[in-house]
Amino acid sequence: MNELERRAQQGDRSAFEQLYRLHAGRVYALCLRLAGDAVEARRLAQDAFVRAWERLPGFRGDSAFSSWLHRLTVNVVLADRRAASRRQRRVVIDGDAVDAAGPPDAWSPERLDLERAIAALPPGARAVFVLFDIEGYGHEEIAAMTGIAPGTSKAQLHRARRLLREALSR
């Protein structure tokens, strides 16, 4: 654990702010890929940093802070998805989707197409695709994080890749 992390762990808000600035971009990108919506991604990234602040005293430094924060962020997004699913089952929700804010202008048309195609994937397939192909988790880890069987993870990945190929070939 480095000095900045140690200071933040002891409640130093300026140290935590520095950690936030170092990691905010990656946390947001992960949330965007998992959520598929820029507004949701901003909210989830904020939630992840609030949770990190709350849980920082328990960070032991066994792994890199970035790894700990990454895992915490994935858990925040997955917990939010489970909660949303429960709410949706209880309440009838209007079927209109909220348009995501556009990505940065610097992105190439190919990257825009890929990001849009990923965002359009069904939530389960999108989560597995992002966790496996982009973040590098294995099917066993994804199964443990999402509460699905490893075989389901493999099937979702296959489905996501097929849907992406179809979307990008149009």
pLDDT for residue 85: 62
pLDDT for residue 134: 84
Comparing 5-9, 80-84, 154-158, the range with the smallest average pLDDT is 80-84
Hey, what are 58's tokens?
């328990």
One domain for residues 33 and 89:
yes
Using CA atoms, how far apart are residues 50 and 42, in angstroms rounded to an integer? 12
pLDDT for residue 67: 92
Phi–psi pair at 102, nearest 5 degrees: -65, 150
If phi over 0 gives left and psi between -120 and 50 gives alpha, with beta otherwise, what is residue 132?
alpha
If phi over 0 gives left and psi between -120 and 50 gives alpha, with beta otherwise, what is residue 94?
beta
Q: Report the predicted TM-score, pTM, of the whole model to 2 decimal places.
A: 0.64
Tell me the per-residue pLDDT of 96-109, one tens digit each, with 9 for 90 and over: 333 333 444 444 55
List the Cα angle 26/136/40 in 5-degree steps: 40
Q: Is residue 142 within 8 Å of 131, Cβ to Cβ?
A: yes
Q: Is residue 69 within 8 Å of 23, Cβ to Cβ?
A: yes
**What CATH number is associated with residue 154?**
1.10.10.10
One domain for residues 80 and 141:
no
One domain for residues 133 and 110:
yes
Q: Is the pLDDT of residue 129 over 80?
A: yes
Residue range 57-85: mean pLDDT, rounded: 88
**What CATH number is associated with residue 60?**
1.10.1740.10
One domain for residues 85 and 132:
no
Using CA atoms, how far apart are residues 139 and 132, in angstroms rounded to an integer? 7
Percent of the chain with pLDDT over 70: 83
Comparing 6-10, 18-22, 106-110, the range with the smallest average pLDDT is 106-110
Can you give the residue range of the structural domain that contains 71? Answer: 1-100
Higher per-residue pLDDT: 92 or 147: 147
Tell me the per-residue pLDDT of 26-45, one tens digit each, with 9 for 90 and over: 999 999 999 888 999 999 99
pLDDT band at residue 112 using 50, 70 and 90 as cut-offs: low
Q: Total structural domains in the chain?
A: 2
Tell me the per-residue pLDDT of 137-153, one tens digit each, with 9 for 90 and over: 899 999 988 889 999 99
One domain for residues 70 and 27:
yes
